[in-house]
């Protein structure tokens, strides 16, 4: 190979290496800024990564909002109608924030309480963010599976006498 071809090859290799390094840095930067959405049931079950920020989405539980007089501190419960999780926030809440409305809060867990840095509320009466609707549907499906796997009290009492009569033969 002559020197011109060697120089072109070297430049091409350096460009590929530089592009790879740039893509790696961008990927790491974007991953560190990502916050995943979890339902209150998933948070309660411990499915969230410990010590990192994430989003919790659900409905503000009725009669759970407690404001501290003379400050911007507020505590409330977010629910997916299966489980509730306590949230604490200090700041100005969105105008659409109220009990029974869908919210997404971004923050992290501190001593069993989700400390929100940002709270977003839905924008009209019929809209629910697709991510929140999906998480709530998953929680309901999981609860239905657990309910089907667990016999009810009526089923247990119906099985117990049958088992007793089988053992009592003539």
Q: Which residues pair with 78 in a beta bridge?
A: 60, 85
Indicate the length of the chain as a whole number. Answer: 170
Contact 83, 59 (CB under 8 A): no
In angstroms, the Cα distances linking 162 to 158, 159, 165 are: 7, 5, 5
CA quadruple 30, 92, 99, 61: dihedral, nearest 10: 50
* Residue that has been written with the tokens 């949230």 in this structure: 87
**Annotated binding-site members for heme:** 123, 127
Closest CA to 81 of 35, 39, 131, 112: 39
């Amino acid at each position: 190979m002559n020197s011109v071809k060697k120089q072109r090859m070297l430049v091409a290799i350096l460009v590929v290496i530089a592009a790879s390094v740039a893509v790696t840095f961008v990927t790491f930067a974007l991953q560190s800024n990502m916050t995943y959405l979890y339902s209150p049931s998933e948070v309660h079950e411990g499915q969230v990564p410990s010590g990192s920020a994430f989003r919790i989405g659900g409905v503000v539980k009725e009669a759970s909002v407690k404001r501290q007089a003379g400050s911007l501190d507020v505590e409330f419960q977010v629910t997916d109608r299966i489980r509730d999780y306590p949230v604490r926030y200090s700041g100005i809440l969105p105008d659409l924030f109220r009990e029974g409305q869908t919210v997404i809060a971004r923050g992290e867990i501190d001593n069993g309480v989700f400390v929100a840095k940002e709270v977003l509320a839905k924008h009209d009466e019929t809209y629910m963010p697709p991510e929140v609707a999906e998480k709530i549907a998953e929680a309901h499906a999981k609860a239905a599976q657990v309910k089907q796997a667990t016999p009810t009290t009526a089923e247990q009492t119906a099985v117990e006498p049958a088992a007793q009569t089988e053992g009592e033969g003539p």
